[in-house]
Structure 1
Amino acid sequence: MNPSSQLFDKVLGCLAGGVIGDAMGTPTEKLSHEEIHRRFGWVTTFSGDGTDDSLLKHILCETLERSGGHASADLWAEDWLRHADTFIDSKLFFAPVLSTFWKLRGEGVAPRDAGIGNMASSSSAMCISPMGIVNAGNPRQAVAETFELAGLIHHNHCRDGACAMAAAVAEAFSPRATVASVLDAAVRYLPPQSARPMRDALVRTLELARASAGYEDFRARHAREAAASPAHFTDSRETVPVTLALLLLADGDPRQTIIYGANFGRDADTIASMGGAVAGALAGAGALPPEWMDTLGPQAQRQRELAARMSRLAVARAEEARARAQAVLEAAA
């Protein structure tokens, strides 16, 4: 894969932006924005290379690589079990992920059904950006494939949250993509009835962002609304809409989107990671500060190598689609 191509730049931006956001948001996770200000001031730097968000994303990349870009709940589950020590030994994973893992390992539950009954969280949305990469430019297909895959972790509105994020990333790869088209794609392909809770949350939060006088006003308004909500702060009805609202407020700039996410508090690592992924895909790795890539250290090279492989998968998927379309057109001639 040509490292100077626009596709490679966007894939690297998506992958590296996600890891950087994950790392930058880690110290501020679970905090209010007032507590962040008292402890850290304005967060613009990071250390480390991410948390469970990035771990699950990289396992999903492995699944996509060994399946030629066609992941499924069954195949992803196989790789979870292959990485069993990671799930058993790590204290990073949240309840829905651990619930799924032990259903798979201890009870032999069918992967497609493993998400039934799991609590609401962002565990499926936070790691789903590779589904947008392999479906680059095709958000409708990204939603269709993600819905099946995300059943491994969720069977509620959080599954729709994963679909929204996959669609946003897929649209970000379109050559003429804009912030507006990315936000539209996140909602457009969600069923109006079955996905109503996620659609409503997206519309409501984006309206709040547009009505706010900038980032700090939006953050304060959202904090007041969240304080009155019974939902857990990791619920994807909060994190996915907030991520896309921050993309809007940052006008698609990955640096600003990540920083906004890290300083937002609450589920900051996930918000900054998802924001970094979609903004990185939209603007490319060239829009990330060079010093951030330097801070990643050896992880930066690993992300470049992964970006090359994922770019090849995206091209292979596009060539498959073109060949199928050509066959149909020839048959119709």
Structure 2
Amino acid sequence: MNPNSPLFDKVLGCLLGGVIGDAMGTPTEKLSYDEIQQRFGWVQTFSGDGTDDSILKHILCETLERTGGHATADTWAEDWLRHSQTFLESKLFFVPVVATFWKLRGEQVLPRDAGAGNMASSSSAMCISPMGIVNAGNPRQAALETFEVASLVHHNFCRDGACAMAAAVAQAFAPGADVESVLRAASDFLPERSAGAMRAALQSTLAMARESAGYEDFRARYCSAAIDGRQHFTDSRETVPLALALVWLADGNAQKAVEYGANFGRDADTIASMAGAVAGAMGGARALPQAWLDTLGPQADKQRALADRMTQLVRARAEAARAAVLMVLETSA
């Protein structure tokens, strides 16, 4: 592990931002921002180490490690079944995840088909940041590979939301990446027609953020309007655009992005987790408050060890791609 490596720092920032956002948003989930203010004031601390968002993310990391960074719906499904006890015992998992698990375990549905018919949710997007990590700097490839992997949970616009998040994370690793390039990557690699619902949600939510006079104004305006008639707060047409809008409002600052998500209410843990993953990848772990790492305790060391292994995967994939390109160039000279 090289703690001074910029790549390692960004991988660690992405992982820590996701876990901390998940944990900080847990107490405020399903609340309105007024209820949050009355109960907690401004939320900026946390306890624990996350919910189902983080559990599924860590299982995906296991799959990526096992496959050399090339996960598929099949290989991710294998690790779901390997962790059957977790799915059987935990009460954290939402309906689409439970449905997928029982399709795999009880009905032997093919993994690529398991997401068909599952209800809309953020269950694929909320845990997908590792797909952006292993495709660091290549958002197009991140979106393409995520479309395959996320089919385990969703076959609708929610899968497009996962592709958007993975692409945003991948772009955050690119040299010279800024908030605007990350936001563009989230939609640029979604097909205009097939992913029209997610592209429209991204456009409308980000437009509202840009028109607002800051975070509090945006939060009030968003929560007072039922955009496109949506009422379900776990709909990824809400959570994915919101997470990216908060990254924009925070100007890429991971601490602000996480706190904005936790104090937004609604699906706060997922929103804060996704915003933290994107902004954490942009700014790296060095940009996170030391007090947050101290609060994580032993979990922080686990995340550092995981970041080291994920960094090795990024480098291995990059070296393999470089070798392949050089071979093609040499043989065609």
Superposition TM-score, scaled by structure 1 size = 0.99
Deviation by residue 1:115-144 (Cα, 9 ceiling, x = unmatched): 000000000000000000000000000000
Aligned to 1:284: 284
- Equivalent in the alignment of 1:308: 308
Give the counterpart letter for 1:67 in structure 2: T
Q: Deviations over 1:198-253 (max 9, x none)?
A: 00000110000000000001001110123872441101000000000000000000
Distance 2:67 2:123 in 1: 22
CA distance in structure 2 between the partners assigned to 1:109 and 1:36 by the alignment:
41
For the residue of structure 2 that corresponds to 1:131, the secondary structure is: helix
Look up the SS of the partner of 1:58 in the other structure.
helix
Q: Which moved more, 1:225-234 or 1:96-105?
A: 225-234
Give the SS at the match of 1:91. Answer: coil
What is the aligned partner in structure 1 of residue 185 from structure 2?
A: 185
Aligned-residue sequence identity (percent) comes to 73
**Bigger CA drift: 223-232 or 299-308?**
223-232
Q: Which stretches in structure 1 are left out of the alignment for 5+ residues?
A: none
Give 1:331 deviation, angstroms. Answer: 2.2
- DSSP 3-state at the match of 1:24: helix
CA RMSD of aligned residues (A): 0.9
Q: Which amino acid aligns with 1:94?
A: F
CA distance in 2, matches of 1:231, 1:81: 33
Worse overlay, 16-25 or 318-327: 318-327
Say whether residues 1:105 and 2:105 are aligned partners: yes
- Residue 114 of structure 2 aligns with an amino acid whose one-letter code is A
Secondary structure of residue in 2 paired with 1:46:
coil
Residue 211 of structure 1 corresponds to 211
Q: Work out the CA distance in 2 between the residues paired with 1:235 and 1:317.
A: 33
For the residues of structure 2 that align with 1:223 and 1:327, how far apart are their CA atoms?
54
- 1:324 Cα deviation (Å)? 1.4
1:98 maps to amino acid: V
SS of the equivalent of 1:154 reads coil
Q: How does 1:20-39 map to 2 (within 5 A)?
A: 20-39=20-39
Q: Distance in 1 between matches of 2:146 and 2:324?
A: 21
Answering whether residue 292 of structure 2 is matched by residue 297 of structure 1, we say: no
Task: Check if 1:6 corresponds to 2:6.
Answer: yes
Amino acid at match of 1:58: H
| Distance in 1 separating the partners of 2:257 and 2:184 | 18
Q: How does 1:1-333 map to 2 (within 5 A)?
A: 1-226=1-226, 229-333=229-333
1-side partners of 2:314 and 2:230: how far apart? Answer: 40
CA distance in 2, matches of 1:227, 1:63: 36
Inter-partner Cα distance in structure 2 for 1:248 and 1:150: 25
C-alpha distance in 2, partners of 1:134/1:190? Answer: 19
| 1:118 aligned counterpart, secondary structure | coil
Structure 1 residue matching 2:127: 3-state secondary structure: coil
User: 1:16 aligns to what SS in structure 2?
Assistant: helix
- Amino acid in the other structure paired with 1:232: H
Q: Which amino acid aligns with 1:182?
A: V
Give the TM-score normalised by structure 2: 0.99
